[in-house]
Structure 1
Amino acid sequence: MVRRRVVVHGRVQGVFFRARCAEQAAAAGVTGWVANQPDGTVEAVFEGEEAAVSQMLTWCHEGSERAQVSSVDVLEEQPEGLTGFDHR
């Protein structure tokens, strides 16, 4: 089990990024959350098997169909045993 916190930069608000992220996480079996931030970024936490979390990190670099991702910051954290995936 691994946990990664990401901050996604670019045009990522108002383009269904959070909704698609939640769908992708559910499909990958990843728990956590995703939320818009006041500075225009999107922050997310992913917990799960390393391969599934890696899949989510790859997805974040592309984002939703209308997103324009310029960069993704990734931080390793200790898993907390989250359940479900929240779209905040």
Structure 2
Amino acid sequence: MSMPSSKLIQLLDFEVFGRVQGVFFRKYTKKTCDKHHVTGWIINTAHGTVQGTIEGTPQNVAIVKQWITTQGSPSSRIEKAEFFNERQNSSKTFDSFKVIRNSAEVARKTFKR
């Protein structure tokens, strides 16, 4: 018998391209993640995208991925959403979902791809 999927935590990184800065994209992403018990973080990048990490049950992560890909904030225009570094853990790494605003964190956290 396999381990129930509710016990596994799915983690993945993402980057969203389009009109996603200055349109409350991070705020709405936090609201959506909080609603679905998904933790992680999101940040504006220097090159006009948003990047972040999300983690939660596979079902809840799938809901947030769908929202990031197709919905976003009311004024955003999503051209493309990329998800990468997908992995699974037995426990959560983050205790909440945070919007990172500190510019020093941008250089430290932005994914080099």
Regarding TM over 0.5, the answer is: yes
Unpaired runs of at least 5, structure 1: none
Aligned length: 88
Q: Which residue in the other structure is 1:68 paired with?
A: 77
Question: Among 37, 41, 47, which residue is 2:49 paired with?
Answer: 41
Deviation of 1:38 after TM superposition, in Å, equals 0.4
Structure with higher strand content: 1
Question: Among 44, 58, 62, which residue is 1:50 paired with?
Answer: 58
Deviation of 1:78 after TM superposition, in Å, equals 4.8
Between 1 and 2, higher relative CO (CA 8 Å, sep ≥ 6) is seen in 1
TM-score by length of 1: 0.94
Structure 1 residue runs of 4 or more that deviate by more than 3 Å after TM superposition: 77-80
State, as a whole percentage, how many aligned pairs show the same letter: 31
Unpaired runs of at least 5, structure 2: 1-8, 101-113
8 A Cα contact 1:8 1:73, kept in partner: yes
TM-score by length of 2: 0.74
